[in-house]
A and B are shown apart, each in its own frame.
Chain A
Amino acid sequence: MTRWMRFLPLAVFIAIVAVAYVMLSASSEGTRDTKAIGFSMTNAPVPDLTLPKFEGNGTIALADYQGKAYAINIFASWCGPCKLEASSIEVMSEALPVIGINYRDNPEDAALFLEQFGNPYQALARDLEGNYSIQLGVHGLPETFIIAPDGMILHHQQGPVFASDLKGKLGQAIERALGS
Chain B
Amino acid sequence: MPWLVATALIHSVIVVVKSDTFKTWTVLLAILGFALSLLGTFIVRSGLLTSVHSFASDPARGMVILAMLVVSIGAPLLLFALRGDRLTSKDQSRLISRETALVANNLLLVVATATVLIGTLYPLALEAWNGARISVGAPFYNATFAPMMGFMVVIMAVAPLMAWRIADGRQVIIRMFPALGLVALTMILSILIIDDFSMTAAATLGLAFWLIGGVVTDLIMTAGFHRQDRALAWRRLVGIPLSRWGMNLAHLGTAVFILGAAGASFFESETIERAFPGDVLTAGNKTYRLESVMPIEGPNYSSTAATISLLDEQGAVIDTIISEIRFYPVSGTTTTEAAIRPRLSGDAYAVLGDGDAERGYTLRLYDKPLVSWIWGGASLMALGGLLAMARGQKEKTS
Direct contact of A and B (CB under 8 A): yes
Interface residues of A (CB under 8 A from B): 1, 3, 6-7, 9-10, 13-14, 16-17, 19-28, 32, 34-35, 37-38, 140
Complex Cα spacing A161 to B49, Å: 26
Complex Cα spacing A16 to B36, Å: 12
Closest to B39 in A: A16
Tell which of B25, B47, B78 touches A34, judged by Cβ atoms closer than 8 Å.
B47
Q: Are A1 and B46 in contact (CB under 8 A)?
A: no
19 intermolecular pairs with C-beta atoms under 8 Å apart:
A1-B85, A6-B24, A6-B80, A6-B84, A9-B31, A9-B32, A9-B80, A13-B73, A17-B69, A19-B124, A20-B62, A21-B66, A24-B47, A24-B59, A26-B128, A27-B48, A28-B59, A32-B127, A34-B52
Determine whether B121 belongs to the interface, using a CB cutoff of 8 Å to chain A: yes
Q: Are A6 and B85 in contact (CB under 8 A)?
A: yes
Contact with A along B247-262 (1 / 0, CB 8 A): 0000000000000000
- Complex contacts, B341 vs chain A, CB 8 Å: none
Q: Are B57 and A34 in contact (CB under 8 A)?
A: yes
Tell which of B28, B35, B63, B77 touches A24, judged by Cβ atoms closer than 8 Å.
B63
- Complex contacts, A13 vs chain B, CB 8 Å: 35, 73-74, 77
Residue among B39, B66, B128 with the highest chain A CB neighbour number at 10 A: B128
Complex Cα spacing A16 to B46, Å: 14
Q: Are A17 and B47 in contact (CB under 8 A)?
A: no
Q: Are B63 and A10 in contact (CB under 8 A)?
A: no
- Complex contacts, B63 vs chain A, CB 8 Å: 21, 24, 28
- Complex contacts, B265 vs chain A, CB 8 Å: none
Q: How far is the CB of A173 from chain B (nearest CB, A)?
A: 19
Complex Cα spacing A28 to B46, Å: 11
- Complex contacts, A1 vs chain B, CB 8 Å: 24-25, 84-85
Complex Cα spacing A72 to B80, Å: 60
- Complex contacts, A9 vs chain B, CB 8 Å: 28, 31-32, 77, 80-81
Q: Are A20 and B80 in contact (CB under 8 A)?
A: no
Q: Are B81 and A20 in contact (CB under 8 A)?
A: no
Contact with A along B17-36 (1 / 0, CB 8 A): 00000001100100110010
Q: How far is the CB of B124 from chain A (nearest CB, A)?
A: 6
Complex Cα spacing A3 to B80, Å: 10
Complex Cα spacing A6 to B133, Å: 33
Closest to B61 in A: A24
Complex Cα spacing A34 to B52, Å: 6
Determine whether B60 belongs to the interface, using a CB cutoff of 8 Å to chain A: yes
Q: Are A20 and B66 in contact (CB under 8 A)?
A: yes
Q: Are A34 and B127 in contact (CB under 8 A)?
A: no
If over half of B's interface residues share one DSSP class (helix, strand or loop), that class is named, otherwise mixed; here it is helix
- Complex contacts, B28 vs chain A, CB 8 Å: 9
- Complex contacts, A21 vs chain B, CB 8 Å: 63, 66
Complex Cα spacing A22 to B57, Å: 16
Contact with A along B96-138 (1 / 0, CB 8 A): 0000000000000000000000000100110110000100000
- Complex contacts, B49 vs chain A, CB 8 Å: 34
Q: Are A10 and B128 in contact (CB under 8 A)?
A: no
- Complex contacts, B41 vs chain A, CB 8 Å: none
Complex Cα spacing A28 to B62, Å: 10
Q: How far is the CB of B168 from chain A (nearest CB, A)?
A: 29
Closest to B62 in A: A24
Tell which of A3, A6, A19, A34 touches B50, judged by Cβ atoms closer than 8 Å.
A34
- Complex contacts, A34 vs chain B, CB 8 Å: 47, 49-52, 54, 57
Q: How far is the CB of A132 from chain B (nearest CB, A)?
A: 22
Which A-B residue pairs are the 5 nearest by beta carbons? A28-B59, A10-B77, A38-B133, A27-B59, A6-B84
Determine whether B349 belongs to the interface, using a CB cutoff of 8 Å to chain A: no
Q: Are A23 and B77 in contact (CB under 8 A)?
A: no
Q: Are A37 and B133 in contact (CB under 8 A)?
A: yes
Closest to A4 in B: B81
B 152-195 contacts with A by CB, 8 A: none
Closest to A31 in B: B131
Determine whether B361 belongs to the interface, using a CB cutoff of 8 Å to chain A: no
Complex Cα spacing A19 to B31, Å: 21
- Complex contacts, A37 vs chain B, CB 8 Å: 52, 133
Given that A1-B24, A9-B80, A10-B74 are known contacts, is A17 also in contact with B128, CB under 8 Å in the complex? Answer: no
Contact with A along B74-93 (1 / 0, CB 8 A): 10011011001100000000
Q: How far is the CB of A5 from chain B (nearest CB, A)?
A: 9
Q: Are B78 and A10 in contact (CB under 8 A)?
A: yes
